[in-house]
Structures are given as C-alpha cells and as structure tokens.
Structure 1
C-alpha cells in the first residue's frame, strides 16, 4: 500500500507555495540595494536596477543580478541568479522572476531550485496566484524529501491553499527505499491526510505489487481503497477484484466484484462476487457464486457454494474449509452436492451435511450425513449415516442398489472396492450370465451385508445373517420390484468439470 512516507513529502511541497513567495499583502515592495539604478527611458516611474539587486516584501528577501521595478503597478521583473529567501527556513532560486504586487501573482522561470528544511524542488516553471491561492508548475519536476530521501517526479503539479490539496499530474513517480509508485495523477489533501490516485497506477515494493486505475489512501489511518480493476500481487498470494478496501490497523481486507484470490503456497484459487480477509484471524471468506480450486499435479479439486470460508489455526496450522448453501464438488474420482460442507486438512476428512449426494464412477451414494476420508485429493473411504443408499447404473433401465441404516464404503484407485452395510440391509443386483446378458436379478434383505466390487460393479455379496432373498427373471419384474424404497437417481445434477472453469480458463 502507499506508505506513510507520502505525508512528509507532500506537506513539504505545500510549503513551497505557502511561504516560498511573498505573502498576501499589498504593502509596497522595497528596494534594499542595487549597485546601479537608472530610470527607464520609456516607462514612467520605472527603475532599471543592476548589480546585487535586493528587494524586500513582507519578511521575504529577493536577490537578482538585474531587474525592472515598476513603482506605479508595484511590479518587478528580475533576471539572472534569482534567489528568494525567507529567514533561514527556505530558499528559492531561478533564472527569471515576475512578481506583481497589485495582481498578486508571481512567475518564476528557468532552472528553478527550491530548498527548505524538509524538501527540495527542481523544475523550470513555478507560478503562484495569491488571489486563488493556487500554485503550480507545468514542466517536469523532481521533489526530494530530505529526511527519507523520497523522490517524487511529475510533469505537472498544483497546490490549492484554500482546500490544502496538492495535485501531481502526468507521469507521476514516487520513490523511496521501500516502494516505487507510478501513476497518471496523484492528489493529496494535507488537512485530511488523504492521497488519491487516478489513471493506471502501479505500486511496487519488495513484498508486493499493486495495480489499479484509481484509489485512495489515508496516511494517518492507513486505510486504502483501490478501484477499477484492482490487483495486489504478493510473494505467495494474488488478490484481484473490481475494488479492494484494506484497513492495515485492523488487518481486514474487503474485495468487491469479480474476486480472484490465488494462494500460490497452497495451490488454491478462490473466485466469487465478494471477498473478505482477516489477517489477524488468518481467515478468508468468499460470498456469492463462490468457488475454490485446489490445484494438484495429478487431479484438481473444485468446490462451489454461495459462501466459502477458509481459516487456518495458528497453533497447529490446520486449515479448515467451510462451504454453505448449494454446495457442489468435483474431483475426477468423485463428485457431490449438499447443503453444507466442512473439510479439515489435518485429518483429510470431508463432511457433507443435509441431503448429500456423492457420485463415484457409475455409483451414486446418498444418506442423511456423509464423511469422506481423502488422501492426495483422492477418496479413500466413506461413512454414510442414516438412510444410506448406493445406486450403480447398469443402463437407463437397470440399477444395482444397496440400502441400509449405515454403510461404510472403501475405495481403491478411486473406485468402490468394498461396502459394509450395518443395519436394515437390502440389496438388489442384476446377474450377468455367461453370454454377458442380464436376465435375472436378486433382491435380498439382511441386517448386515458385505459387498465386494470389481471395476465399480457389484461382484459378490456376503450376508452376515440368513438373508431373505428372491431370484427373479428381470422380464417378469414389475416396475416397483425393480427399485428399492426411496430410489432417486439424480444423475442430472451431477457436477462436471466444465461448470467450474472460469472465463480465462475456457478462452482459446
């Protein structure tokens, strides 16, 4: 962010115009000294002064090699080796000075160097209007802060005494030991201690790089707002949004519109309508069309929801991810939907709440509550509590089904390898004959059942107690007999990878 150093430099620039030239009084300019003085041959009441000329006006002393002094209009034109001194606090030098006491304006031209205890200004033009209390330069200038060696460059500059505002325009560059700032226009109000920057702006430090097209920074409260496509690029994090608001003291950042937050250290990208980051709590939240992308060399995990939050526990560095409302998840090995989700990376356990549905290969898994044990973004096992149900599609008319109070599913290489059903077990599976035809189906009931799978399809079923089983010809089965109670095949809402891809990822 724009640093506090800006305050001293800009206040110093204001003094150039406030005290650098004579004050707003109408007292007659006094001639203190001149080696030689003659009357102008054409203009009445006009002196031509040469050699060590000295003027004085309102405690400000002005030196030059020669000058025209127009007594009636209280104006002098000074030439060569101009030096304007106010006590020992400031000195202004240049080639030519036009000072008009009546109109209350002053122009200095050529090789201008201004020095006071705080800053130095170097430029070729300097103008001040005591009526409007506006000072300006319109040639490239360099302003250096003595204490911090901060340097500000711009092609134009303006100071408005009435509203205590400094304007730097055209190719503005602010440099100090910690950062460089480039902008089209920089505006600073010395009363509110607030800096505004307009046009393409770039702020570069050793820790981060900031890009925006407009912004405001309060040097006292250290509150910053960036607008019109703002970007903050850090060593391990990049934040993008239509606008970014940051309170350094509170450690809170808010991002609005088309939010992208990239965590390169953990290979995580967050997208959404709005974002919120709390540095003190090490938590990040995304609101509205929120999405998390967890990059991996082999597979990528996608999670979308209305609201996403990521929080890191500073004691054990455990990262917890929470997703709420219309949660959708995609990973090549499994996909899912639910109302809310919690994931902890210390135990790699993913919890699905409120009518969750998961898919793996041709199988759909449902229950009141599901826990997924993962490793390297691949599913290892599932625990399904209450109303557990697995449906495996053979074709659009036949589905193998497993149902029970609770079930435990185990995976191998991303495919279901084994299922343990605990309580109220029911199965309905179709039997493949030696001609690779499905002609019969077996429906059975048993409290506890163990089912083994081969390549994602039911291979063998073991009933741990005496089952109540029925073999039937599929052709003779009624529609009701083809489905266990509560059958709901939800393939139409199964997430796919394309829905998670962002515009930048889908463009050619």
Structure 2
C-alpha cells in the first residue's frame, strides 16, 4: 500500500514537472558585466548591465541592459538591442523577450533582416517558433525587386509571404499597386489586392481601377475582375502658331466586368463582358474589346455567335458589325474596318 502511494506520488510529481516545463518553456539565460538581484512586490528580478547576452536555444540577444523577470521567464531589453536566430536579425532600441512563447516585441522602432527582405516599422512582434512577424505603423518591406508599404503587415518568413492591411502600396519595375489589403508571395511575385485597387503602369500612362486584382509579375499578367475601369490620358500635339505650341488632353476610358492586362513584347488589354468605351468623338458598347496599345489598335468583337453585335459611334456615324478594328496613329483615330454583317448609319450635318 505504501509502495503504491509512493509510486503515485512520484508519477504526480513527474507529470506536474512536465506540464510546468511545457507551460514555462526553456528558461532564458542572461549574462553581463554586472548583476543586481532584488525582489519587487514579491517577484524576483535581476538587472544585468553592460555587454548583456540573453540566450534561449538558437535565439541570441545582445543589448546594453536587461531586466530579467525570473518567474515569468521574460526580460526587458534596453539599448542597442539585437536579436539573432540563424540568418534572421532583429534590431531595436528597446523591447521585450518572452521566453515561454519565444516571442519578442518592440514599440520603439524595429527592423528585421532575414537576408531575403528588410522589414521595418514603428512597432512589431516576432514569433520565433512560427517564423512569423507582425509589424504595425509605417510598415515598409523591401527586397531586391519591390518595395511594399502598409499600416499593418504579417510576414511569414518560411513561406516568403506578406499579408498587408491599410493604405497598401507595392511597387516594382512594371507597376505601382495601391489597395486596402494585399497578399504578396515573393517567390512567385504573385499579388492579390482587394478594396479600392489602383494599378499604375510605369511603362505608359495607363491606370486601372477595381475592387479585386491579381497580378502575376513573373508572367507579366494582371487580372481585375471586380468593377474594372481603365483610364489612359494622352497629351496630343495639335498646332504651332507663332512659336507657341498647342496641346490637347485626350482620355480613353474602358469599363467592363473583367479586364486582363498582358505586358510582354507589347502591351495588351482585354475587356470582357458589358464593355463600354469612350474616347473623344469615339464610343462603343460591346462584349469584347482587345486594346493593343503598342500596336495602336483597338479590336471590338462579338463574344460568340449568339452574342450581341458591337456598336460603335464615331463623330456623326453609328457602325455595327461582328468585328470592328480601330487603327490609331499618334493617339488619333486613323481608320476603321468593319467585318461581317457591317452596317453604318450617318447623320447629315
């Protein structure tokens, strides 16, 4: 009977120790030039000053001063704080390290460098067990090909993924995208943007608005499938009189249900379903438009045999046909070709 009680007691003690260790996590170790121990409101505290080094597993922290809370397995880090784990480095002036959850937090400006990206913000947290960062306020993420800014950003280091919220802007050699939220995958250079989306081309003066965008930078392809509107503003030279040059601002507007942008050797935009086009004296209603900006050509077609016949208005004429090609020159309409079931109605002046 006594033997059974002793065994039960030992099992209880061992189990309690295991659960306690799991709850606490690995103890943090702190060393430095000088150490002051004291008890504040019943809690044991160590102040370590000068050349401070804190270690927990692979995490190594250096700073000028650390205040270690023994029972909580935590430490406040003060002055020239540098946290390292493998290729990851985090720098701040003041912060905290929580040993039980293996996380760090700072509200004194924080910079993360994992040799893939540099991430900075006014405040931030890093979860070492999850390889995850959550940064807030004036967030900026940079790598070799793009810059991303936002109000909040969650960075998944292992997945090379960043989820941004609030006043998001991402820019690369091709485009500048702004949105309310953006999910960016670094390896594939794939971005998904939602809410008040705007994409501005760096190669030309084209802007596309919408509510949902998917951009595949490696493939040079963009999809906007919620309320897309394309706006292109061109400055057109009109005349020269007494050494005074005259210019006219001309805009192309394309509205549709789905828009695709293809950036390769030429710039191509596809407008699909319920397409409306306006440009100066030219307008059209159709179900499919192919705008070849580089080739200065607009092709308007029926979606299929049962589709609506495209309608085009130009100056005083209305044209219909299964396929209409508009040729441009210096951003002005040069000629029109109407193929199959062509019909034209003109209003005399």
Question: What is the TM-score normalised by the length of structure 1?
Answer: 0.53
Deviation at 1:144, TM superposition (A): 6.0
Deviation at 1:108, TM superposition (A): 1.3
Deviation at 1:391, TM superposition (A): 3.2
Partner residue in 2 for 1:20: 29
Deviation at 1:260, TM superposition (A): 0.8
**Residue pairs, 1:70-89, within 5 angstroms:** none
**Residue pairs, 1:228-267, within 5 angstroms:** 228-267=166-205
1:179-198 Cα distance to aligned partner (Å, 9 max, x none): 65431321122222111112
* Partners of 2:32 and 2:52 within 8 A in 1: yes
Determine whether 1:133 maps to 2:73: yes
Partner residue in 2 for 1:194: 132
Deviation at 1:171, TM superposition (A): 2.2
Determine whether 1:210 maps to 2:148: yes
The secondary structure found in structure 1 opposite 2:211 is strand
Of the structure 1 ranges 223-232 and 112-121, higher mean CA displacement relative to structure 2 is found in 112-121
Match of 2:217 among 275, 279, 282: 279
Aligned residues: 301
Deviation at 1:177, TM superposition (A): 7.9
The secondary structure found in structure 1 opposite 2:177 is strand
Deviation at 1:271, TM superposition (A): 0.9
Query: Following the alignment from structure 2 to structure 1, what is the Cα–Cα distance between the partners of residues 59 and 108?
Result: 24
* Partners of 2:81 and 2:95 within 8 A in 1: no
Q: Which structure would you say has the larger Rg?
A: 1
Deviation at 1:119, TM superposition (A): 4.7
Q: CA RMSD in A?
A: 3.1
Match of 1:324 among 267, 272, 285: 272
Query: Following the alignment from structure 2 to structure 1, what is the Cα–Cα distance between the partners of residues 90 and 153?
Result: 20
Determine whether 1:363 maps to 2:317: yes
Partner residue in 2 for 1:123: 64
Gaps of 5+ in 2: 1-25, 237-249, 303-308
Query: Following the alignment from structure 2 to structure 1, what is the Cα–Cα distance between the partners of residues 85 and 258?
Result: 50
Change (3 A) 1:339 1:362: same
Partner residue in 2 for 1:341: 289
Gaps of 5+ in 1: 1-16, 22-91, 393-398, 401-456, 458-508
Deviation at 1:206, TM superposition (A): 6.2
Query: Following the alignment from structure 2 to structure 1, what is the Cα–Cα distance between the partners of residues 33 and 281?
Result: 76
Partner residue in 2 for 1:36: none
Change (3 A) 1:148 1:250: closer
